[in-house]
Amino acid sequence: MITNTELEFKGDLYPSKIVLMEQDVDSVFFHADNSVILKLTVLRDSMIRFRYTVKGYFSNDFSYAIDKSHSHGYNFLEVTEENDYYQVKTSKVKCRIQKIDMRVSIFDLNDKVILEDELGFHWEECYEHGGNIVKMSKTSKDGECFYGLGDKATQLNLKGKRVENFATDQYAFSKDQEPLYKVVPFYIGLQKKQSYGIFFDNTFRTYFDFCQERRNVTSFWAEGGEMNYYFIYGPQMQDVVTTYTDLTGKPELPPLWALGYHQCKWSYFPESNVKEITAKFRDLKIPCDAIYLDIDYMEGFRCFTWNKEYFPDPKRMVAELAADGFKTIVIIDPGIKIDKEYSVYKEALEKDYFCKRADGPYMKGKVWPGECNFPDYTNPEVREWWAGLFKELVSEIGVKGVWNDMNEPAVMEVPNKTFPMDVRHDYDGNPCSHRKAHNIYGMQMARATYHGVKRFAYPKRPFVITRSAYAGAQRYTSSWTGDNVASWEHLWIANIQVQRMCISGMGFTGSDIGGFAEQPSGELYARWIQLGVFHPFCRTHSSGDHGNQEPWAFDEEVIDITRKFVNLRYQLLPYLYTMFWQYIEEGIPMLKPLVYFDQEDIQTHYRNDEFIFGNQILVCPILEPNSLGRRMYMPRGQWYNYWTSELITGGKELWVDTKFDQIPMFIKAGAIIPKYPVQQYVGELEFDELELDVYYKESKEKSVVYEDAQDGYDYKKGRFSLLSFTTIGKGNEFYIQLYKEGKYDTNYTKFKINLIGLPFKVKEIRIDNEKITYDKRIFDSKNYLIIDKEFTELNIVGI
Ligand code: MIG
């Protein structure tokens, strides 16, 4: 047994020896002599939940994070007793619980240790709060790596770091600053090429220490609540992430326009300014789908009101913007102005919907409108009321999306920047203090907003974006990374934060492109756009107090680069939509850090910059000024340089030349990348051809293209189109096979097939075994071919 320094663990208590074991279907209870109970529940063969109590009984089991519809059920479960331990075995793992001290070790079926308690579960009584600080420690081997945890602004691999989870309004945060806006207490461990996950579903302030305090120990603890965590076995990181995402839930598909480019600033007003901005996008031919109204559209910052001087007729304006392809998105904060004349305030007061202090008075805090009260979104009745408030905005005025800000919750001019900890919450019938509800406040606000927007947008799809979030918030909302800064370091941070959010289940995320605080140089803005178009959510935003941040605030060259890359995003919309569909169907992250892509390759374990966009596009942003290229790591496999079509074999570090209007971008050999024509907004054009960039590969590769009506819910009834392509290169023949599923008939009738990297001269082309005639001149000079979309096999035969 490991001994610890007296000081460090003074006051800690531990489970004593196990005196009783009972099994109840999928759960096994281990009772210790000193009232500690461990409840181990097998949810899937590869997912086991561990819940501890020190009271001799368990409190009500309630979680905002867990998706009730998550898949569970196992193939095999066997509980046995040995001399020194009990063993719980599934078809994937064995769990041993030591009789003497309840410590747990988890093994794979070859008896290789995956994860092992160091001190294991222990706690410290906390007299002041009438609860315990609950702690867990695991041993960690040299070389183990750690990933996940949401929006942390630090290197991807968390080894050697300690992080804190407490939702905080962190204006102009810096690298390594803790805590930030979001709380996702989920990490992935990777050791000896085996991955596992831990989701510590505890909403109190939590900490994770990844071998920072002690070299071979990883620990996590909470300032209250239960030691309650889920262990997820891989061994592939892919399986850990998809299982976690299944457990905490997946969103529905957003409307396709939400994957377009968004423009934001604090603030665009009055109406004439909004119109100037949108007109300029159309003038300059830079595609844009959404325009945002920040807090100044309201009357004295009162939510659900309009400043009639700036916006005399919002309904007309929103309709005019819509006619030009712009969707209007408005901000809604949680603080409700204390004002007896204000209907939202009056109603909430009458119905008793505001949060209260422990001794009775309403929780009062200063935010933009001045003194405010705050709805208790943890009360289902309050959420229902809140949802109803969106009727006018959405059904009458025609707003298409809602932006929830300040929901950490943020309070101005107080030292802790949020509510006092004694504030009471309903917590869906489990009354508690703000200590427990703080981290889920923003998520519950976004949830209520989502239900409202969804109700009134129906039969169209809603769009919601939030700043604060807890694990599982992805079911309701997209997010952005908060108030970043226009600096090169923040470009690096944004790249990591979005990758990290993607493997933490909350992939529909982006950063404020160009930086929120301070003014980016044209070069920095261009480099940020070049990264931002590869983020699931793509929006320029700035605080507006330092000059403008529309593309035309910079010189011609930057405008051209912005157009070029936003155009590329619009061309890639079917690719982006397909990866979103894989995310909602299977929980597959839209961006994949290299370690996720190839965990067997140790070179990937410490990479930060390169990532895979979807499944087949490798992107590496330029993160320094005056770059003529950069060094990067090319993961294993064969990759085509997007700009030059040069074929490169990966598994090595290399220098890549780029110009100012390029970033390193590579396409996986064998991939088929679908492209739409450039449109100024989603749905602007009707077109008759889907372009397919087909990259030759010797051997087999699969690609899919998901499409549907781009909005609405018919896709849930089977009205989608799923194209599954297989490419096969064999000697001097190249095959493209197509298998179709779904009841949606796409509007186009043809494919324009661009063949890239064919290693031979073409002799003939066959479709479904029949030789076809084609325009040889075009084909030979431009390498493309236009064919009917109805085919099952295209065969290109070389000389
Ligand atoms: O205290 O609404 O992060 O995106 O523009 C600042 C004004 C409040 C913070 C958000 C930012 C938004 C700003 N808000």
Burial of 200 (0-12, 13-18, 19+ CB in 10 A): buried
Distance 162 CA to ligand 1 centre (A): 28
Indicate the top mutation candidate among 168, 267, 405 to test ligand 1's pocket, ranked by most ligand atoms within 8 A of CB: 405
Give 460-499 pLDDT, tens digit per residue.
Answer: 999 999 999 999 999 999 999 999 999 999 999 999 999 9
In order, the DSSP letters of 455-498 are HHHTTSPP-EEES-EETTGGGT-EEE--S-BSSHHHHHHHHHHH
Using CA atoms, how far residue 562 sits from 101, 377, 611, 697, in Å, is 61, 40, 21, 32
**Is residue 189 a contact partner of residue 195, using CB atoms and an 8 Å limit?**
yes
Strand partners, 458: none
Write the residue with the smallest CA distance to atom 13 of ligand 1. 266
What are the φ/ψ torsions at residue 254 (nearest 5 degrees)? -80, 165
Q: How far apart, in whole angstroms, are the C-alpha atoms of residue 509 and residue 507?
A: 5
The answer on pLDDT for 716 being more than 70 is yes
List the one residue out of 213, 162, 215, 224 whose CA is nearest residue 187. Answer: 162
Distance 375 CA to ligand 1 centre (A): 19
pLDDT (0 to 100) of residue 461: 98
The response to whether residue 332 sits with its C-beta less than 6 Å from ligand 1 reads no
Distance 368 CA to ligand 1 centre (A): 10
Distance 181 CA to ligand 1 centre (A): 13
pLDDT (0 to 100) of residue 2: 41
Amino acid (1-letter code) at residue 153: A
Percent of the chain with pLDDT over 70: 99
H/E/C letters for each residue in 169-225?
A: CCCCCCCCCCCCCEECCEEEEEECCEEEEEEECCCCCEEEEECCCCCCEEEEEECCC
Indicate the top mutation candidate among 406, 479, 509, 546 to test ligand 1's pocket, ranked by most ligand atoms within 8 A of CB: 406
SS3 284: helix
SS3 745: coil
Write the residue with the smallest CA distance to atom 8 of ligand 1. 406
List the one residue out of 98, 139, 105, 79 whose CA is nearest residue 16. Answer: 98
Residue 467 CA: nearest ligand 1 atom is: 3
The response to whether residue 482 sits with its C-beta less than 6 Å from ligand 1 reads yes
Query: Could you check whether the bond before residue 462 is cis, i.e. omega within 30 degrees of 0?
Result: no
The pLDDT-based confidence of 778 (bands split at 50, 70, 90) is confident
Give 186-214 pLDDT, tens digit per residue.
Answer: 999 999 999 999 999 999 999 999 999 99
Distance 161 CA to ligand 1 centre (A): 29
Report which of residues 799 and 663 the model is more confident about.
663
Residue 410 CA: nearest ligand 1 atom is: 1
Name, in order, each residue with C-beta under 8 angstroms of 218's C-beta and a sequence gap of 6 or more: 137, 138, 139, 140, 144, 146, 189, 208, 209, 210, 211
Go through the chain and tell me how many residues it has. 799
The response to whether residue 335 sits with its C-beta less than 6 Å from ligand 1 reads no
Distance 266 CA to ligand 1 centre (A): 7
Mean pLDDT of the chain: 97
SS3 142: coil
Distance 296 CA to ligand 1 centre (A): 11
Average pLDDT (586-598) is 98
pLDDT (0 to 100) of residue 246: 98
Write the residue with the smallest CA distance to atom 11 of ligand 1. 483
**Is residue 774 a contact partner of residue 783, using CB atoms and an 8 Å limit?**
no
Distance 331 CA to ligand 1 centre (A): 9
The response to whether residue 295 sits with its C-beta less than 6 Å from ligand 1 reads yes
The answer on pLDDT for 351 being more than 70 is yes
Give 52-107 pLDDT, tens digit per residue.
Answer: 999 999 999 999 999 999 999 999 999 999 999 999 999 999 999 999 999 999 99
The response to whether residue 405 sits with its C-beta less than 6 Å from ligand 1 reads yes
Residue 544 CA: nearest ligand 1 atom is: 5
Percent of the chain with pLDDT over 90: 96
The answer on pLDDT for 5 being more than 70 is no
Catalytic residue set: 405, 408, 483
pLDDT (0 to 100) of residue 473: 99
Indicate the top mutation candidate among 265, 294, 333, 466 to test ligand 1's pocket, ranked by most ligand atoms within 8 A of CB: 294
Residue 264 CA: nearest ligand 1 atom is: 5
The response to whether residue 483 sits with its C-beta less than 6 Å from ligand 1 reads yes
The response to whether residue 330 sits with its C-beta less than 6 Å from ligand 1 reads no
Write the residue with the smallest CA distance to atom 12 of ligand 1. 266
Residue 512 CA: nearest ligand 1 atom is: 4
Name, in order, each residue with C-beta under 8 angstroms of 323's C-beta and a sequence gap of 6 or more: none
Burial pattern 741-768, b for ≥16 Cβ within 10 A else e, equals ebebebebeebbbbbbbbeeebeebebe
Residue 483 CA: nearest ligand 1 atom is: 3
Average pLDDT (160-172) is 98
Helix, strand, coil share of the chain (percent; to 5): 20, 35, 45
Indicate the top mutation candidate among 483, 509, 540, 546 to test ligand 1's pocket, ranked by most ligand atoms within 8 A of CB: 483
Residue 150, token pair as written in the block: 């949401």
Query: H/E element holding 753?
Result: strand 750-756
Neighbours of 521 (CB within 10 A): 14
pLDDT (0 to 100) of residue 779: 87
Distance 278 CA to ligand 1 centre (A): 21
Give 241-281 pLDDT, tens digit per residue.
Answer: 999 999 999 999 999 999 999 999 999 999 999 999 999 99
Distance 405 CA to ligand 1 centre (A): 7
Q: How far apart, in whole angstroms, are the C-alpha atoms of residue 752 and residue 750?
A: 7
Burial pattern 389-427, b for ≥16 Cβ within 10 A else e, equals bbebbbeebbbbbbbbbbbbbbbeeeeeebbebebbbbb
The pLDDT-based confidence of 10 (bands split at 50, 70, 90) is low
Amino acid (1-letter code) at residue 523: E
The response to whether residue 294 sits with its C-beta less than 6 Å from ligand 1 reads yes
Distance 171 CA to ligand 1 centre (A): 9
Distance 412 CA to ligand 1 centre (A): 12
Name, in order, each residue with C-beta under 8 angstroms of 417's C-beta and a sequence gap of 6 or more: 168, 169, 408, 410, 411
Residue 482 CA: nearest ligand 1 atom is: 3
Residue 333 CA: nearest ligand 1 atom is: 2
Write the residue with the smallest CA distance to atom 6 of ligand 1. 406
Distance 761 CA to ligand 1 centre (A): 58
Set out the domains of the chain in order of their start, with CATH numbers.
11-234 (2.60.40.1760), 591-668 (2.60.40.1180), 686-798 (2.60.40.1180)
Residue 368 CA: nearest ligand 1 atom is: 1
Average pLDDT (723-737) is 97
The response to whether residue 794 sits with its C-beta less than 6 Å from ligand 1 reads no
The response to whether residue 467 sits with its C-beta less than 6 Å from ligand 1 reads yes
Query: H/E element holding 509?
Result: strand 509-510
The response to whether residue 331 sits with its C-beta less than 6 Å from ligand 1 reads yes
The pLDDT-based confidence of 1 (bands split at 50, 70, 90) is very low
Indicate the top mutation candidate among 170, 265, 266 to test ligand 1's pocket, ranked by most ligand atoms within 8 A of CB: 266
Q: How far apart, in whole angstroms, are the C-alpha atoms of residue 40 and residue 26?
A: 8
**Is residue 310 a contact partner of residue 296, using CB atoms and an 8 Å limit?**
yes
Report which of residues 76 and 129 the model is more confident about.
76
The response to whether residue 266 sits with its C-beta less than 6 Å from ligand 1 reads yes
Residue 412 CA: nearest ligand 1 atom is: 1
The answer on pLDDT for 48 being more than 50 is yes
Residue 331 CA: nearest ligand 1 atom is: 2
Distance 169 CA to ligand 1 centre (A): 10
